[in-house]
Chain A
Amino acid sequence: AQSVTQPDIHITVSEGASLELRCNYSYGATPYLFWYVQSPGQGLQLLLKYFSGDTLVQGIKGFEAEFKRSQSSFNLRKPSVHWSDAAEYFCAVGDGNQFYFGTGTSLTVIP
Chain B
Amino acid sequence: DTAVSQTPKYLVTQMGNDKSIKCEQNLGHDTMYWYKQDSKKFLKIMFSYNNKELIINETVPNRFSPKSPDKAHLNLHINSLELGDSAVYFCASTRTPGVGEQYFGPGTRLTVT
Contact = CB atoms under 8 A, between A and B. Distances in A.
A101 B78 CA distance: 24
Interface string B86-102: 00001010100111111
Interface stretch (A17-25, A37-45, A76-84): A37-45
Interface string A66-109: 00000000000000000000001010101111110101101000
Interface residues of A, number: 25
B102 A88 contact: no
A43 B98 contact: no
B62 to A, nearest CB: 21
B43 A32 contact: no
B98 A32 contact: yes
Given A44-B90, A90-B43, A104-B41, A34 B101 contact: yes
A96 B99 CA distance: 5
A42 B45 contact: no
Contacts of A90: 43
B41 A99 contact: no
B105 interface: yes
Q: Which 8 pairs across A and B sit closest by C-beta, in order of nearness?
A: A43-B104, A94-B98, A97-B98, A44-B104, A96-B98, A101-B43, A104-B41, A43-B106
12 contacts: A34-B101, A38-B41, A43-B106, A44-B92, A46-B103, A92-B102, A94-B97, A94-B98, A96-B99, A97-B97, A98-B45, A103-B42
Interface of B: 4, 40-43, 45, 48, 56, 90, 92, 94, 97-107
Interface of A: 32, 34, 36, 38, 41-46, 49, 51, 88, 90, 92, 94-99, 101, 103-104, 106
